[in-house]
């Protein structure tokens, strides 16, 4: 199964179409760290991360990981080993905090862009996460919580996302 992001505003899975938002500067073939662009291409998806203190574990065929206070996603350009990886925030590395005060990461799935053979400065922390207002993201794809919960029932560990 493939999730399609056909333009800046539509995410399609089978017969379902969901409104979405992407990076503030659109979709690009040449993603770099901090450019506010969503990377074009076909990518595998990681596991579902969820906030157990905010909602119950959703129904999904994806592996599910509870977000803990000490979890981060490394965006440190000085760390080839950990760049674009899940880390413990006790490590002395720049990172995106996963246990946030807002709602955006109550549910999220890493899009495995620049993941297998990660290259420094090519972009990190590209997630499918939540939005309430469809404001452009820093490079992620965001949908409303109700749509996210439907999506979780449709996809599995073999699902890919195609961003065009």
pLDDT tens per residue, range 102-112: 999 999 999 99
Q: At a CB cut-off of 8 Å and minimum separation 6, what does 78 contact?
A: 93
Q: Is residue 73 part of a domain?
A: no
Strand residue runs (E) in the chain:
2-7, 10-13, 16-19, 27-28, 38-39, 41-44, 48-50, 64-66, 71-74, 86-88, 95-97, 107-110, 127-130, 141-143, 160-163
Which residue, chain included where needed, has tokens 């899940």? Answer: 86
- Reported as a single tens digit per residue, the pLDDT across 25-61 is 999 999 999 999 999 999 999 999 999 999 999 999 9
Q: What is the DSSP letter of 150?
A: H
Name the pTM for this structure.
0.96
Q: What is the CATH number of the domain that holds 43?
A: 2.40.440.10
Q: How many domains does the chain have?
A: 1
Q: Is residue 89 part of a domain?
A: no
Owning domain of residue 34: 2-67+102-163
| Angstrom distance (rounded) from CA 52 to CA 66 | 6
Q: Is residue 135 part of a domain?
A: yes
């Amino acid at each position: 199964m493939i999730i399609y992001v056909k333009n800046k505003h539509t995410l399609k899975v089978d017969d379902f179409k969901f409104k979405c938002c992407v990076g503030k500067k659109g979709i690009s073939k040449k993603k770099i760290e901090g450019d506010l662009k969503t990377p074009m291409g076909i990518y595998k998806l990681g596991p579902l991360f969820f906030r157990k203190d905010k909602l119950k574990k959703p129904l999904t065929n994806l592996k599910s990981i509870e977000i803990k206070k000490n979890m981060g996603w490394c965006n440190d350009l000085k760390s080839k080993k950990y760049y674009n990886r899940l880390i413990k925030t006790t490590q002395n590395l720049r990172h995106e905090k996963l246990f946030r005060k807002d709602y955006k990461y109550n549910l999220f799935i890493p899009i495995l862009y620049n993941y297998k053979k990660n290259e420094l400065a090519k972009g990190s922390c590209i997630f499918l996460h939540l939005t309430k207002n469809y404001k452009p993201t820093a490079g992620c794809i965001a949908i409303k919580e109700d749509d996210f919960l439907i999506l979780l029932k449709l996809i599995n560990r073999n699902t890919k996302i195609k961003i065009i």
